[in-house]
Amino acid sequence: MTSPSPITTATAAIPNRKKLFIRTWGCQMNVYDSTRMADVLAPLGYGPAETPEEADMVILNTCHIREKASEKVFSDLGRLRLLKNEKEAAGQKMVLAVAGCVAQAEGAEITARAPWVDIVLGPQTYHRLPEMVARASRAAGAQIDTDFPVEQKFDLLPEVSANQGPIAFLTIQEGCDKFCSFCVVPYTRGAEFSRPVAAILAEAKRLVAGGAREIALLGQNVNAWHGEAPDGSSWTLSRLLYELAEIDGLARLRYTTSHPRDMDDALIGAHGRIPALMPFLHLPVQSGSDKMLAAMNRQHKAELFFRTADKLREARPDMALSSDFIVGHPGETDADHAATMALVEKVGFALAYSFKYSSRPGTPAAGQPLQVAEAVKDARLQELQALLRQQQDDFNRACVGRECEILFTGPGRHPGQVAGRTPWLQPVHVMAPAHWAGRLGKVRIDAAHPNSLSATLLSEKELATA
């Protein structure tokens, strides 16, 4: 999960006269959405603000996945109310908006508990932000828009800002039809929608022309993408990846988040045939127990995950996997937890995210019996996280002495350092000029640290742009 942070990429059509601060919680999809909201507001003269205090507009782009997500939003809104009042007392105006999944799920609650909020908008309506800002400046009362016009959103958004940096994100699919028992995404993001091929390729080329050397394709179920091609046919994700890999100047491709059920043989095979497709895949499994996978409505068994992991490693021997796990789903027993531990031991993960189950109103699991006690969930999570952390440390230590290519992303923490990412998404730092961001360099990994690697530069190259 990402930490709250300002969005600082916007391409203004007119000189910046106003300041915009966006605080983002959640997945990379939310980060992408925040960037697009900045793009939408740039023609109105909004440029980036580093803090809420200097902003004329503040947007909280929310996520409903974590426990007590809405309460954290209301806590932030309480602090922003004081700032808004201070600005009004000084004769200034600050527009306050709540966007994202909490806004979608609890729009009425937000306006009732925080009437000082000017705009509430769901994930599918931020293309209408300029109109909502105009209405908010003319009329009292919150402007609320939580419809699901996903086709309109992508059709009406301006061209994506091309200056995301060496690593860029590109949404190709939104929504979910899986209806896992614990998840709110189908209710906050709507049904699955795949963007057409032409729009994706055009956006990717703009990103590369703007300096992107790696593109991560985003979707709630990204490997379920099936976009319409210009000739009217339907492409799968594997076909799209082959096409994207032909873009001059694009060195790396990734995609997230995937569902095990949608990992077909063509997509698995692409990992062995497309050099630009990085050998690192995030593939959430949630549990190793078939009983719990059924209770979660994951629509596959543990054996499918084992076969998929084996096939991926056959196609790409250096493939590393990451995953998501939930402990303490209603009905989970000690035996079910042991099955999850056994899956982790058998598969092995370079990275993983694990959470205690927490009830989400409106989801099927929220009303199920046999809720697991908090103390039991705590104990199971600690045991699982200890194993996952050990596997991550083992994977990082196994990289010491290896030579690999990294993508430089910007300055490191210390003078003379530049930071980058390995093919397996590990942060790495080397002694090199900071202006090398956007180049690739061959390095030798020297040491593994708790959250990064250090390396020695062996050679470097600068990529040609499209």
Binding residue positions for [4Fe-4S] cluster: 27, 63, 101, 176, 180, 183
Name 373's Cβ contacts closer than 8 Å, sequence gap at least 6: none
Structure-token match 């995937």, residue found: 258
Q: How far apart are CA 373 and CA 351, in angstroms?
A: 27
91-94, long-range: CB < 8 A, 24+ apart: 92/56, 93/56, 93/137, 94/55, 94/56, 94/57, 94/58
HSE-up (13 A, CA, CB side) for residue 26: 28
Binding residues: 27, 63, 101, 176, 180, 183
Q: Which candidate, 104, 102, 60, places its Cα nearest to that of 78?
A: 60
Q: How far apart are CA 406 and CA 419, in angstroms?
A: 9
Structure-token match 């979608």, residue found: 104
CA-only gyration radius of the chain, Å = 23
Which bin fits 49, alpha (ψ -120 to 50), beta or left (φ > 0)?
Answer: beta
**Beta strands 214-218; 167-171: pairing state:** parallel
**Beta strands 57-62; 95-100: pairing state:** parallel
Q: How far apart are CA 341 and CA 336, in angstroms?
A: 9
Q: How far apart are CA 455 and CA 464, in angstroms?
A: 25
**Residue 215 φ/ψ, nearest 5 degrees:** -120, 130
**H helices present in 332-433, as ranges:** 334-347, 374-398
Quick one: DSSP state of residue 160? Answer: P
Strand (E) or helix (H) holding 171: strand 167-171
Q: Fill in the amino acid letter for 460.
A: E
